[in-house]
Chain A
Amino acid sequence: MMRFVLPCGIFLALVALLGAGLTLNPREVPSPLVGKPAPSFSLPQLRAPDKTFSAQEMSGKVWILNVWASWCPPCLVEHPVITELARIGIAPVIGLNYKDRPEDAIAWLQRNGDPFQLSASDIAGRIAIDYGVYGVPETYVIDKRGIIRYKRIGPLTPQIVKDKVLPLVEQLSRG
């Protein structure tokens, strides 16, 4: 009897282990940037290219940085969620327009609405490399001292906004 129970048990344990592995998303790589200072940058603003935006301007505020592009279908899926997040007005939402043509990006905002306080143009994608971006859209919550406190790879969902982003921003704003 024992000679069947043991191999079957080992087999089932292996199935459970590998099965659990299958439910994990390999795209969700834990970011080493959470808890680190947000890389500083200074970029032209999308709608006013003669003006720049720099991350330092936001010091003293809790803010949200959303990396988006007009060529990115999931960004369109995420767009209503960002719009709602901006409408709640809990923290300024800044866009980082990633490897996009400014005219395409502006047309996209005109078509779908512009939830961002402003968007910065990262045409070469260099700043995004500093932020470890590899799958647009990505969203960062940055605290008053300029530390990245949360990073989401892929589109935000209403659930994530409710369960993670809003409580975190509230907590950071109090502190």
Chain B
Amino acid sequence: MLLIVALAVAQSAWAKEAAPAAEDPVLERRVMELSAELRCLVCQNQSLADSNAPLAVDLRNQIREQMQQGMSERDIIDFMVARYGDFVLFRPPFKLTTLLLWLGPLLALVAGLAALFYRLSRRRAAAEVELSESERARAAELLRATDEADRR
């Protein structure tokens, strides 16, 4: 009996813990979609949507309010970047300081392919040995000898 009471109390306590969700499920989905794109700076490998750090909760509430005020996703992202820098974006913008970040893998791929083709072409060059006249005659002789051996 006590256990049931305890559980009921615990459950109601949980219910109170829930974040103040907007009435409107469409708005709530927009809030979660946008906050999934933004990094929680307290626990850096989580998004604002995933994190329950107090700051993440505050920022989700901030996003919800801003959406209710009619700000667009773009406006809210600009708001966050102005305060926390490009680092809050899980998809960083393409600009001079992020050039290496975006093009680095491509450069590595090109460098790898170049190295591969260089090696392959060298190997082919090494395989194609020029035979002198006498070597060619000797090779022909050997081939004929094996041919005759096979026939017998």
Q: How many A-B residue pairs have CB under 8 A?
A: 38
Which of A26, A27, A32, A124 lies in contact with B83, CB distance below 8 A? Answer: A32
Closest to B54 in A: A99
Which of B44, B82, B84 lies in contact with A26, CB distance below 8 A? Answer: B44
**Which residues of A sit under 8 angstroms from B82, Cβ to Cβ?**
32-33
Q: Which of A99, A124, A126, A129 has the most CB of B within 10 A?
A: A129
Give the docked Cα–Cα distance between A29 and B41 (Å). 9
Chain A at the B interface: mostly helix, strand, loop or mixed? loop
**Which residues of B sit under 8 angstroms from A125, Cβ to Cβ?**
54-55, 58
A29, B58: Cβ atoms closer than 8 Å: no
Which of B42, B62, B81, B86 lies in contact with A134, CB distance below 8 A? Answer: B42
A32, B85: Cβ atoms closer than 8 Å: yes
Q: Which of the four size classes fits the interface of chain B?
A: 10 to 19
A40 at the binding interface (Cβ < 8 Å): no
B83, A29: Cβ atoms closer than 8 Å: no
A135 at the binding interface (Cβ < 8 Å): yes
A150 at the binding interface (Cβ < 8 Å): no
Closest Cβ of chain A: how far from B10's Cβ, in Å? 24
* Contact residues, B40-62 vs A (CB, 8 A): 41-42, 44, 54-55, 58-59, 62
B54, A33: Cβ atoms closer than 8 Å: no
Which of B55, B59, B87 lies in contact with A29, CB distance below 8 A? Answer: B87
* Contact residues, A130-172 vs B (CB, 8 A): 130-132, 134-135
B54, A131: Cβ atoms closer than 8 Å: no
List the 3 closest A-B pairs by CB distance, nearest first. Answer: A134-B41, A132-B83, A32-B85
What is the interface of chain B, defined by CB distance below 8 A to chain A? 41-42, 44, 54-55, 58-59, 62, 81-87
